[in-house]
Amino acid sequence: MGPLNAEVLGITALSLKVAVVATVAACGIGVPFGFWLGSTRFQGRRGLLVVLNTALAFPTVVIGLVIYLLLSRHGPLGALGLLFTWPAIVVAEVLLAVPIATALSAAAVQAVDPRVRRTALTLGAGPLATAWAVAREARFALAAGVVVSFGRVLSEVGAAMIVGGNLRGQTRTLTTAVALATSQGDFSLAIALGLVLFGLALTVNILIQLLQGRTGA
């Protein structure tokens, strides 16, 4: 294996690590929050949905800038020493993916037939078992939310560049590497990295499709 291939493998591994950790964290927050938002009626819910939908379209470089300012040496979280490390990229990606996971989960739960909840309740289910029954019926839409969040995190470049710094061997992800290779005129490397990125996204989607096929979606 040549040094270039080893570097590409390292970049791919880091991209996957960042994407998986950020997706798990974002969905850990966003899916329950979206579930609550989709199944509860309260005053101010509509306003919250407007904020959420605005967050979906928030420019990633602005998120990157905010995290940069927070984590910079003189920022409020500067003492953590996270700036230009991969966890810093994870933090930024989580902030970007939480609104997606939340909005899609809320939409998934809202789309579930209202009879599901009533049926679970009348058969004796408590709040948790009822929520589980609703989640089971919405599982494919919820899974789609996870996949979209993963795709968002994997393909993001602006925030990763700002808070990660695109440091070789440390914070260089597939997207920041593509940006760098392109700016340096190394188009063959940029295309190769782009294909790796595409291959990863395709693999995840095929896995989800296979899962849905097996469970009778």
Partner 1 sequence: MLEAQGLVHTYEGRTVLAVERVALEPGSRLALVGPNGSGKSTLLRLLAFLEPPTRGALLLEGRPVRTAGERRAARRRVTLVEQRPYLFRGTVAANVAFPLRLRGTPAADVEPRARAALARFHLEQLAGRQARELSEGEIQRVAVARALAARPDVLLLDEAASAADRAAQHALFAAVAEEQALRPLAVCFASHLLEEAYRWSNALLALHQGTPVPVTPENLFRVELPGGSGMQRVAVGPVAIDVIADRGGPATLAIPPEEIVLSLEPLHSSARNCLAGRVVRLAEQDAAIRVTIDAGIELIALVTRRSLDELGLAVGSPVCASFKSVAVRVF
Q: Does residue 124 touch partner 1 according to CB under 8 A?
A: yes
> Which range of residues in 13-21, 32-40, 129-137, 181-189 is near partner 1 by CB under 8 A?
129-137
Q: Does residue 119 touch partner 1 according to CB under 8 A?
A: yes
Q: Which two tokens stand for residue 137?
A: 């019926």
Q: Which residues of 2-17 are buried (b: 16+ CB within 10 A; e: fewer)?
A: eeeeeebeebbebbee
Distance of closest approach, residue 59 Cβ to partner 1, in angstroms: 39
Q: Does residue 116 touch partner 1 according to CB under 8 A?
A: yes
Check: CB of residue 204 under 8 Å from CB of residue 153.
no
Binding mask 86-115 for partner 1 (x = CB under 8 A): ---------------------------x-x
- Binds partner 1 (CB under 8 A): choice among 5, 13, 111, 136: 136
DSSP for residue 78: G
For partner 1, the closer CB: 91 or 138: 138
For partner 1, the closer CB: 115 or 168: 115
Binding mask 188-217 for partner 1 (x = CB under 8 A): ----------------------------x-
Check: CB of residue 163 under 8 Å from CB of residue 71.
yes
Cβ-based neighbour number of residue 170 at 10 Å:
13
Q: Which two tokens stand for residue 104?
A: 């899609």
Please, what is the end-to-end C-alpha distance for the chain in angstroms? 42
